[in-house]
Amino acid sequence: MRARQAVGDLAARYRRPPGAPRAVAYLYILPALAVYALFLLFPLGQTVWLSLLHWDGLSAASWAGLENYRDLLTDPALRAPFGHALVLLLFYAGLPVVLGLLLAAVLTRFRVRGMTFFRTVFFLPQVLAMVVVGVTWRSILAPDGLLNDLLRAVGADSLTRSWLGDPTWALPSVGVVGTWVMTGLCVVLFLAGVQRIPRELYEAARVDGAGAVREFRTVTLPGLRGETAVALTLTIVAGLRNFDLIYITTSGGPGNATSVPAYEVYRRAFEINSAGSAAAMGVGLTVLIFTLTVVVARLVEGRKS
Amino acid sequence: MTTRAERLLTYGILALFTVISLTPVVGILSSAFGDRATTDAGFSWPDALHWGNFAEAWTRGHFATYLGNSLLVVAAVVTVTTVLSVLAAYAFGVMRFPGSTVLFYLFVLGLTLPQEAVVVPLYFDLRYWGLTDTYWALILPQTAQSLAFGVFWLRTYFRNSSRAVIEAARIDGATSWTVLWRVLVPMGRPALSTMVVIVFMWTWNEFLLALVMVSDEAHRTVPLGLAFFQGQHSSDTALLAAASVLIALPVVVVYIALQRRFIEGMLSGATKE
């Protein structure tokens, strides 16, 4: 008995992670933590502090308390960007996930050849710099750009317009660019997921006489629950961090039709010298991102049980 | 059994998605090789390949300088991120110590944190330290942001690395330092290369930080250069397209060579424990 315990102790000692004194772990973490704390955590704390002040970036700051946050909730000019961001999420997250699921559903029926090629092409927009994407789409959506050329070619001249200069159409136009960027990511994610669903489930569904629609609802959709959560999280985060695209294509215009929190933080801090209000906007954006990612995670877990 | 019609439909849908994905890319390529004399921003096949646009964009847009800056910043961020992430992720992955969970979640926080939440005070801090308009202003914050991914990604690798190998090395008398650099890092080349290409891409494409931190031309990176180029030559579609192609090319080449690594890395950010 004792001998066995001794052997067990010995085995436990060797099963222990390497590194003689445990304190050595802190030494390994220290350099990364120092850089991370100094250039990310510390400024994050400062943003929260700054959001409680009125400050123009030059003269002495004055205490604002929660005023910046109150303005965020009551001032229409500050509320509008959040509204725009939610509309854009339909294009950045909603549409790509739906399109991705539909495509994945079609592709469950048999093995497609050339999958590597399709995957590489669909995912391509993800690796292009958003600045390049913005410049490209700005020329496509220009008055004499590709989109209007196509519309004229099919005789729909009445539909042509300056897509990014039109107060009604600018926001959906920017949204479509987001759909173009994000759909490939969702498709690739769902295609990988579909391959992991056991074939027997599909066979069983077919034996039961399930059509394509019921097969999708009872097998594909539940099988892709995890992937759906990942897709929603990635697209929501990307959709709310869309500064580059807005800056390049519309700069928030026309008027403030396409201003979003990410852009508004920059504009307030560095163009109209309202650092406190910019910081409050930054905190608001962060809270929105964390809330939505937690909601997505909860929705997925909740349905599982 | 799948019918012929079903197969045709599937390939038809795939082809449609391919066309939609590639149209803007082909459009920009055709403009880049197009004749600068035509002012139309639309889609027209170039009558000949006008390579001159690239040379023109290269010199007029000062892209030689910007590419040099980008390369320097990317090299520094990738190197420092890799070394620091390896060290920290090793501790998180194979050692047990008080506070490890809290510290790890502190790093994971950075995966979803928007840059907009830190960029305002970061600018004023770096200006106070006299670091704006230097490479440091681009390297240090981007390293901090990349560490979130590096630590998260490599910890998974260390956690899944073979216990038996670590134990064998330990019994041979290897210290934790030797185990890491002689055994685990060489074995982890696939995981490390995924991390390297992702950090390379993020740093190469980074725009907001460069816009805020750099006001002099000498430190501009390529995305910032393109934005300014657009401001000056917005009607010159061919030059603008050529400049865009020059910027996108390095990442796209690496992506085509290592697409599996890119996809694996970029989809990992949201996976949970």
Long-range CB contacts (< 8 A, 24+ apart) of B34-39?
B34/B237, B34/B238, B34/B241, B35/B238, B36/B236, B36/B238, B36/B239, B39/A144, B39/B235, B39/B237
Q: Is B3 within 8 Å of chain A by CB?
A: no
Pull the structure tokens for residue A303.
């349905």
CB contact at 8 A, A48 and A283 = yes
Q: How far apart are CA B201 and CA B221, in angstroms?
A: 13
Q: Determine the Cα–Cα distance for residues B111 and A230; give it in Å rounded to an integer.
A: 13
Q: Which domains does chain B have, with CATH numbers?
A: 4-53 (no CATH), 63-268 (1.10.3720.10)
Question: In this structure, is the dihedral angle defined by the CA atoms of residues B241, B242, B243 and B248, taken in order, positive or negative?
Answer: positive
What residues of B are in contact with residue A187 (Cβ under 8 Å)? Answer: 17
Interatomic CA distance for residues B151 and A29, integer angstroms:
10
A45/A190 same-domain check: no
Nearest to B140 among A35, A57, A137 (CB): A35
Query: Among B155, B244, B148, which Cα is nearest to B199's?
Result: B148
Q: Which residue has the higher pLDDT, A112 or B104?
A: B104
Which domain CATH number covers A169? 1.10.3720.10
Residues of A in contact with B2 (CB under 8 A): 109-110
Residue A196 and residue A166 share a domain: yes
Q: What is the pLDDT of residues A135-146, one digit of tens each?
A: 999 988 988 888
pLDDT of residue A51: 93
Residue A61 placed within a domain:
no
pLDDT attached to residue B107: 94
Range of the domain at A296: 67-304
> Chain B partners of A290 at a C-beta cutoff of 8 Å?
112
0.90 cut: is pTM over it? no
The verdict on residue A44 lying in a domain is yes
Tell me: do A74 and A206 sit in the same domain.
Answer: yes
Tally of structural domains, chain A: 2
Q: Mean pLDDT across chain B, nearest whole number?
A: 87
Instruction: Please tell me whether residues A264 and A171 are part of one structural domain.
Output: yes
Q: Does A253 or B159 have the greater pLDDT score?
A: B159
DSSP 8-state class, residue A38 = I
Cα gap A182→A245, rounded to integer Å: 13
Question: Residue A123 and residue B20: Cα distance in Å, rounded?
Answer: 12
Q: Which of residues 46-75 of B touch A (CB under 8 A)?
A: none
Residue A20 and residue A151 in one domain? no
- Residue A285 is assigned to a structural domain of this protein: yes
CA distances from A151 to A146, A250, B30, B45, B268 (A): 9, 22, 20, 18, 40
**Whether residue A153 sits in one domain with residue A212:** yes
Same domain? A175 vs A27: no
Query: Could you read off the pLDDT of B60-93 as tens digits, one per residue?
Result: 878 888 999 999 999 999 999 999 999 999 999 9
> What is the structure's pLDDT at A95?
96
Higher pLDDT, residue B56 or B198: B198
Residues A217, A86 share a domain: yes
Q: Indicate if A271 and A296 belong to the same structural domain.
A: yes
Say what the pLDDT of residue A305 is: 45
Same domain, A103 and A144: yes
- DSSP class of residue A206 equals H
Question: Where residue B198 falls among pLDDT bands split at 50, 70, 90?
Answer: very high
pLDDT recorded at residue A206? 83
The C-alpha atoms of residue A194 and residue A203 are separated, in whole angstroms, by 14
Sequence-distant (6+) residues with CB within 8 A of A135 are A248, B226, B230, B240, B241, B244
Q: What is the ipTM of this complex?
A: 0.89
Cβ separation A285–B117 shorter than 8 A: yes
Pick the most confident of A277-281, B8-12, B261-265.
Answer: A277-281
Interface list for A 218-277 with B (CB within 8 A): 229-230, 233-234, 237, 240-241, 243-244, 247-248, 261-262, 265-266, 269-270, 275
**Best of B22, B79, B116, B254 to mutate (most A CBs within 10 Å, chain A):** B116
Domain assignment of residue A281, yes or no: yes
Query: Do A44 and A86 share a domain, yes or no?
Result: no
| Residue A79 included in any domain | yes
Q: Specify the pLDDT at position B35.
A: 74
CB atoms A122 and B21 under 8 Å = yes
Q: Does residue A296 share a domain with residue A155? A: yes
pLDDT at residue B46, as a whole number: 65
Would the pLDDT of B222 be above 60?
yes
The count of CB pairs under 8 A between chains A and B is: 304
Where chain A has pLDDT below 70, the residues are: 1-22, 109-110, 302-305
pLDDT of amino acid A58: 81
- Residues 6 or more apart whose Cβ sits within 8 Å of residue B121: A43, A46, A47, A50, A279
CA angle, A114 then A118 then A123, to 5°? 150
A62 assigned to some structural domain: no
